[in-house]
Amino acid sequence: MPENDCILGDIRVLDLSEDVAGPFCTKLLAGLGAEVIKVEAPGTGDISRGAGPFIDAAPHGEQSATYLYLNTGKKSITLDLQSQTGAFILQRLAQECDILVESCPAGHLDQLGLGYATLERFNPGLIYTSVTPFGQTGPYRDYKGSELIAQAMGALMHTIGLPDKEPLRIGGNAAGYTTGMSAFSATLLALYVRDAAGHGQHVDVSAMETITVAQIHASIAHQFGRTPTRRASTLAQAQDGWVHAGLERGVREDTWARVCALMGRPELADDPKFNTREARREHQQELLTLISEWTATRPKEEIYHALQGLRTVAGYVATVADLYTSQQLLAREFLQCIDHPDAGTATYPGAPFTIQGTAWHYARAPRLGEHNVEVYCGRLGYTREDLAHLRGAGVI
């Protein structure tokens, strides 16, 4: 495959999704070269346009960091799907698309004549991906969801936090991005089936099930009477942050003496409380105290490189600022500088994977309705006068 070829360069996607999971799925499709047309509500757009943080202090629909990241490389059109005319226009667009991704409540688009059963009649090869909190079926299908609910209902929070405290959620949108990756993978698989067998499919993605899969080891262990519990932290404080020295489990027996010498405590190599992996686990908290005395005098990255040099399973807790100076990320050209007319120039996280011979497609997020003329006039044959009438009627 020639360099810079886009794997999905001949694929067109309708993105009706909002929030994190669906837009992340379509962001990845756009990164592989697909043309992604994001359908947004007139006037307001995707709900993430109103989600902070914003580039400037005041809320601004074109300066939401969340929206700018999740919608790189897409085109934006405005369309009121609740109107009969808007639904008709979307049906026309769906006839020319390969993939549709949506995150509406289960059954909502069916009521508008935009469900899979309807659109599949116009376009039998359509891949229709639905991303919801609990899926299209089951007793919870109509329940509301959120990042917190997905982490809680999928049992992720059961293993996060201190043993004697309440469970904690992971910061950020771990469930949203994981669910988005699941939707992306399933959509590509359905696209492969379409190319091989000639028919489209309805892809049903549940956030609860995605997170439950990530905790499947816990459910299996539970069946054998070994219910996972929350554990105390094994992090040690360094001069400028936190490190995981990994000495209680991540050190080979023939390396332990070298680690002790590195810490300036060679006598620990023969101490029966620490000279085997089992002993270090048994006396974990005492060992953590000794480790902390050493780590407190050094920068976290120095500790990390020294211990990794001895082939131990060590790491440090990176801050967001650390990511932008990470020699690993810089060497792999993971960070990408993208300019936006309203938000200015910023450095964005890049692709979560690379494919040999294929360049990732990077482009800014669209302004609200920026591609109305291109899509409605260039694709569907509307005139500018038609657009003015549709805009006046609130359809676009």
Domain boundary among 281, 316, 351: 316
* Assigned domain for 95 exists: yes
Number of Cβ within 10 Å of residue 336's Cβ equals 14
Are 334 and 204 within one domain? yes
Maximum CA extent, the chain: 86
Whether 172 is covered by a domain: the verdict is yes
Print the domain residue range for 62.
12-216+330-392
What is the per-residue pLDDT for 1?
39
**Is residue 184 within 8 Å of 28, Cβ to Cβ?**
yes
Whether residues 277 and 334 share a domain: the answer is no
Q: DSSP letter at 105?
A: P
In contact, 7 and 355? CB cutoff 8 Å: yes
Same domain, 59 and 144: yes
The tokens for 130 are: 């639905």
26 inside domain: yes
pLDDT at 128 over 70: yes
Residues 159 and 249 grouped into a single domain: no
pLDDT exceeds 80 at position 232 = no
Count of domains observed in the chain? 2
Cis preceding-peptide flag for 2 (omega within 30 of 0): no
Indicate the pLDDT class of residue 231, thresholds 50, 70 and 90: confident
Q: Same domain, yes or no, for 305 and 352?
A: no
My answer on whether 141 and 198 are in the same domain is yes
CATH of the domain at 284: 3.30.1540.10
Residue 376, pLDDT > 60, answer yes
338 and 257 part of one domain: no
pLDDT score, position 217: 59
Measured between alpha carbons, how far is 368 from 77 in angstroms, rounded to an integer? 7
User: Are 27 and 155 within one domain?
Assistant: yes
* pLDDT band with cut points at 50, 70 and 90 for residue 304: very high
Final residue before a domain boundary, out of 261, 288, 316: 316
Query: Same domain, yes or no, for 259 and 338?
Result: no
Q: Is the pLDDT of residue 222 over 60?
A: no
Looking at residue 2, its pLDDT comes to 39
Q: How far out from the chain centre does Cα 11 lie?
A: 22
pLDDT in tens, 306-339: 999 998 889 999 999 999 999 999 999 999 999 9
Of the residues 253, 282, 316, the one at which a domain ends: 316
Specify the pLDDT at position 220.
Answer: 60
Distance of CA 166 to the CA centre of its chain: 26
Region 373-385 average pLDDT: 96
Give pLDDT, residue 52. Answer: 83
The per-residue pLDDT for 3 is 43
pLDDT of residue 348: 94
Identify the CATH number of the domain in which residue 170 sits. 3.40.50.10540
Are 212 and 76 in a shared domain?
Answer: yes
The dihedral sign for the CA sequence 342, 348, 352, 356: positive
* Residue 43 lies inside a defined structural domain of this protein: yes
**pLDDT tens-digit readout, 249-292:** 667 777 899 999 999 999 999 999 998 888 998 898 899 999 99
Please report whether residue 241 resides in a domain: yes
Q: What is the mean pLDDT of residues 12-35?
A: 97
Contact 133, 104 (CB under 8 A): no
In a domain, 4, yes or no: no
Least confident stretch, 33-42, 125-134, 158-167: 158-167
230 located within any domain: no
Residue 16 or 311, more confident? 16
Q: Are residues 48 and 169 in the same domain?
A: yes
Q: Name the pairing type of β-strands 99-102 and 12-16.
A: parallel
pLDDT at 96 over 60: yes
